[in-house]
Structure 1
Amino acid sequence: MYNNEPIFLQPVLQERIWGGQKLRTEYDYEIPSDKTGEAWVISAHPHGPSKIMNGALAGQTLADAWYEHKEIFNKAEDEQGEYPLLVKILDAADDLSVQVHPDDEFARTVENVPYGKTECWYVLSAEEGAELVLGHNAKTQEEFDQMIDRGEWDKLLRGVKVKAGDFVYVPSGTIHAIGKGIVILETQQSSDITYRLYDYDRTDVAGNKRELHLERSTQVTTIPHQDAPVEQMEKVNGDLIEKKLVEEQYFSVYHWQLNGQATCEMTADFLQVSVVEGRAALMIDGKSFDLKKGTHLILPHSVTTYSLEGNAEFIVSHE
C-alpha cells in the first residue's frame, strides 16, 4: 500500500514550431530550445510520461505507478485500461494549427488507441487582443466542404478573444486553435491524436509544409458547430474559493484560489493538482510539503484529509 505522500511529477518538455520561452521565464522549467511549446506536466501517455520525483516510487513514471499500484488511484488490481487524463501547459508564441480531435469510438476503431480527445483550457495569460479559434460557421457539410475547397478560412473559422482567467471547453469534434500570445493549462483525455485542418501555409526550417489531415478532419468535425454548455459553481471552504469549471463524463476541473488556510476532504478517487500562481504549504498527517508556481502533483486516494495554507492559485482535476 502506497503511503499518504503526494506524488510530485517532473514535466516533460516538448518542442513545437509555434513554441516560445515562457515555460522557462514564467515557470522556471529547463526548456530544450527557444521553441518549446508544451510541458506535459501530469502524463502517463507513452509519448511523454511524467517521472515521479519523490517517495518510494521516485524515478518511476506515472504510467508505472498506474499499472503497478492501482491502490493509489482507488482502482481494482485487475482493472484494465490506461491512465485516463493528461495535463499540459502550452506556450503559443505563434498560432497553433487549426485542428480537430476524434471521439472515443473513432479513435478506437480507426486509430486503434484507447481514447479520443475532449479537452479544456484555462487561460493563464494572454497578450492584449489575443484570439483563439473555437468552432466554425458552416451550417451544412456541403457548405463546410465548399469553404475549405475555396480556402475561405476567414469566413469558415470562428474567432474568440480571450484574457487571463477565461475557461474554454473543447469537446471532441470541435475545430479549434490556440492563438499567438496565449498560455494555457489544458486538461484532456490521455490522447495524442490531432487532425490538422489548416496551418496558414507555413513551412518548417527545411521549407516543408506540415502534413494536413483533411479527410479525417472532415469525418470527425461536428457540423454545424455547437457551443458546449458549461455550468460553473463556486463554494467557499475556509479561505479557499473552489470554482467548478466543468463537470462531464471524462473529467471534472476546478479553479482554486487560496488566501489563507483551508482543510479539505478527499471525495474523488485521486486528485491532479497544478499550482499556477503563488506559494502554499500542503499538510498531510502532520507533514508539510512546499508548493509553488509550476508544481504539479497527484494526491493519492489514501489521503482522506489535507490542509492548505498560503496564497496560491490551483487548477485541480479528476475523472
Structure 2
Amino acid sequence: MISDEDELIRRIHQEAHDSYDEELELELEDRHIDELAGGTDALRDASYRENRRRYFRELFRLQGELVKLQDWVVASGHKVVILFEGRDAAGKGGVIKRITQRLNPRVCRVAALPAPNDRERTQWYFQRYAAHLPAAGEMVLFDRSWYNRAGVERVMGFCNDDQYEEFFRSAPEFERMLVRSGIQLIKYWFSISDDEQRLRFLGRIHDPLKQWKLSPMDLESRRRWEDYTKAKEIMLERTHIAEAPWWVVAADDKKKARLNCIQHLLQQMPYEEVPHPRIELPQRERHEDYLRNPVPQDMFVPQVY
C-alpha cells in the first residue's frame, strides 16, 4: 500500500521531471527537421548520446551557478547589462533562453526592442535603450542593442554617414558613463561562419515551426554577408574599450557556444553563495465555517487531452 508520504515524494519527483522536459523541448528546437522526421542514426550513436548527456549535465550545473549569481546580484545591489550581438541565426536567442530559464524575471529581464517608431527616430539615439537600464539588484540582457546602428542600420542604409560617425563618437562615451555610474557592461559578439549561417537559414526555411524567424531583412542580410563582415570589423575596432571590451563567442557549435558564454559570464562577477534561512512550509489554516463554492462545469476548459 502506498503511503501519503510516498505519493508526495512521487509527485515531487514527477514535477522535477516535468521541469527537465523544458530542456528537451528547447533541444528539439535546435535539431534539423530531417533528423526529427526520420534520421535516427545520430540518436543511436553512443558518442552522440554521451555528448548530449555531458551537455545537459554542464548546462544544469551552470544554471545552478546562475541562480547563485542572481542571489548575489540582489543581495549586493549590483547592476549588470549584457549585450548579445551577432549575425542573424548566430544563436543569441538560444543562449539568452538558457541564461534566463531558471532565473527570476523580476531580477533578470530581457530587452529586445523593435524597430524605432516615428517619435523615437527624433530622440537622442541612446534614449530608448537608456529606459531599460537596470536599477540596483537587476540584470538586463539586451537581445541586440544600440549597436544596431553600427550593423544593420549601416548595411541597410537606415542611417546616414553623419549619424554613423556620431555613433562611434558617442558609444564609447555612453558606455564609460554607464560604467562610472556603477553599471557593469558586458558585450558578446556571436561569431558564425558563412556555411553555418546558410545551414541554419535553410533549416528555418524547411521547418514550418521556425519560418516565422525569417524576415525579409534576414534574407537580405544573407545576401550582404560581406557588407556585414566589414561593418562588424569596424564596430569591434572602434568600440572595444577597456571599460567595456568585446568578447567574441565562437558559435558554429550551438551547445559549446552556450556553455562557454555562460561560463565566461559567471567569471566576470565576484559572486558568492548567499546564505538563506531554512524554508519551512507552514500548515494551512482550516476553519469549520469555510465551504468551497463549486465551479460551474461550463466554466472549465474542455479536457481534450
Q: TM-score range by the shorter chain?
A: under 0.3
Report the TM-score when normalising by structure 1: 0.24
Return the structure number with greater strand share. 1
Higher helix share: 2
Q: Which has the higher contact order (CA 8 A, sep 6+)?
A: 2
Max Rg structure:
2
